[in-house]
Structure formats: C-alpha cells, structure tokens
C-alpha cells in the first residue's frame, strides 16, 4: 500500500494517458456497442472486482435494457506491477448456467485473468460468453483472449486511474495515467 504522500508523488510524476472527457466519450461509445449487441439477450453482467468497480458503476446506468448483475473477484497483480498466479476470492456462481454472460473488466493486459474467467464461466454452463474491457494494453504479444467490446487501446506502460490501482492507490481518479519510466 502507498501512503498518502507517496500516492501524491506518483500522481505528480505521472503522464496523462486519457483525460476524463476522453473516458466519458469512451463510456458512451462502448455502452452503445454493448446495447446494439446484447439488448435482446437479457445478459447476466459479472463485474470483476476490484478494478472494474468504476467502469461498472458508470456503464450500468447507460445500459437501458433488462439485465441481471453479479460480481466475481479475482486478482493476480496484488501490489505488484507484474502479474502472478490467479487468486480467486469470489468464483462465478451456479447462476451463470444457461445465461448469456457479459464480463466487465477495467483492463485486458496479458489476458490471463479474462481467459481464466471465460473458462470458469463456460464450465459452469453459461450459454454464451461476452466480455467488455474498458482498456486493452498493447503489449506487443499474442493474448490468450480478445475482448468482444473494447473501450480504448493503451500503450504498454503500467497505468492507473478509473478503477486501476498503483499499489492500492488511485482507483478513484476520473482519468487514466501512466507511471513515468
Ligand atoms: O490481463 P491480465 O494481465 O491478467 O490483467 C488484467 C487483470 O489485472 C487487474 O486485476 P488485478 O490482479 O490488478 O486485481 P485488482 O482488479 O483487484 O486490481 C485487472 O483488473 C484485470 O482483472
Ligand atoms: O497497467 C496496469 N495497471 C493497473 N492494474 C493492472 N492490472 C493489469 N495491468 C495493470
């Protein structure tokens, strides 16, 4: 965890990647793409805690069609900027069986988290799996999964804000920043 002074230092030395205006435009765009594709599917929307909390909270009111909501919790970065093993805190539940599932996450980085979620959700009997990520990092390598809906592409840098943390800090920022190298 970063203490408050260190968190402020990180933000003061960061590079702005996407302003809050850009974030708002992106939200409107991805909401309309999801609406076109899924408005008649009565999906079960699963939010991936904790990073997807801001994306989810701002996206759901823009989806004006019937849906159900639940959350899952899985993490593999913890307080690190490199991913490790997946730590499932809350698994998908049996309520995914027979449902069209839409998983929401803040970032598709190496793709291991979303690929594992897809495997688990399909193994529990979901009838279809869709995913929407607010950001997709251009890592210059093949990923094990692509998202069906992508808000914006990001450079290959450690980013934070709009749900994404740097050592636990700054999920609450309305814009997206990158750590300076
Ligand atoms: O594509 P990947 O390389 O697997 O990384 C993407 C995952 O990493 C982040 O979660 P994190 O493990 O940081 O947990 P958090 O959501 O609690 O921050 C993010 O929210 C995604 O779920
Ligand atoms: O660049 C990132 N920032 C914050 N959280 C993340 N989880 C995967 N990649 C990132």
Probe target for ligand 1 pocket from 49, 75, 131, with the most ligand atoms within 8 Å of CB: 75
Decide: 151 in ligand 1 pocket, CB within 6 A: no
SS3 115: helix
Decide: 51 in ligand 1 pocket, CB within 6 A: yes
ipTM: 0.97
Do the Cβ atoms of 44 and 67 come closer than 8 Å? yes
Probe target for ligand 2 pocket from 52, 109, 170, with the most ligand atoms within 8 Å of CB: 109
Phi-psi region of 114 (alpha: psi -120 to 50; beta: other; left: phi over 0): alpha
pTM of the model: 0.97
Q: What is the DSSP string of 64-92?
A: -S--EEEEEEEES-TT-SS--S-EEEE--
Confidence of residue 151 (pLDDT cuts 50, 70, 90): very high
* Domains contained in the chain, CATH given: 19-157 (3.40.50.2020)
Q: How many CA atoms lie within 13 A of 122 on its CB side?
A: 10
Q: Average pLDDT in the 17-37 region?
A: 98
SS3 125: coil
Average pLDDT, the chain: 96
Closest residue to atom 16 of ligand 1, CA basis: 51
Q: Is the predicted pLDDT of residue 181 greater than 80, yes or no?
A: no
Q: Which atom of ligand 2 is nearest to the CA of 166?
A: 4
Closest residue to atom 7 of ligand 1, CA basis: 113
List the one residue out of 160, 175, 163 whose CA is nearest residue 50.
163
DSSP structural state of residue 52? T
Q: What does the alpha-carbon distance between residue 9 and residue 54 come to, in Å, rounded to a whole number?
A: 23
* Ligand located closest to 154 CA: 2
Decide: 73 in ligand 1 pocket, CB within 6 A: no
Give the rounded percent of residues in the chain with a pLDDT score beyond 90. Answer: 93
pLDDT tens profile 60-111: 999 999 999 999 999 998 878 888 899 999 999 999 999 999 999 999 999 9
Q: Average pLDDT in the 114-122 region?
A: 98
């Amino acid at each position: 965890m970063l203490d408050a002074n260190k968190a402020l230092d990180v933000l003061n030395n960061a590079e702005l990647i996407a302003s809050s205006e850009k974030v708002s435009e992106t939200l409107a765009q991805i909401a309309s793409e999801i609406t076109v594709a899924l408005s008649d599917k009565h999906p079960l929307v699963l939010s991936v805690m904790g990073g997807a909390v801001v994306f989810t909270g701002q996206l759901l009111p823009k989806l004006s069609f019937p849906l159900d909501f639940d959350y899952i919790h899985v993490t593999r970065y913890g307080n690190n900027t490199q991913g490790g093993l997946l730590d499932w805190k809350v698994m998908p539940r049996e309520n995914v069986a027979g449902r069209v599932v839409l998983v929401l996450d803040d970032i598709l980085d190496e793709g291991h988290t979303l690929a594992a979620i897809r495997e688990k959700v399909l193994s529990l009997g979901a009838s279809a799996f869709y995913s929407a990520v607010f950001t997709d990092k251009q890592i210059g390598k093949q990923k094990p999964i692509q998202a069906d809906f992508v808000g914006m592409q990001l450079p290959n840098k450690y980013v934070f804000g709009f749900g994404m943390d740097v050592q636990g800090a700054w999920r609450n920022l309305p814009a997206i920043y990158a750590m300076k190298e």
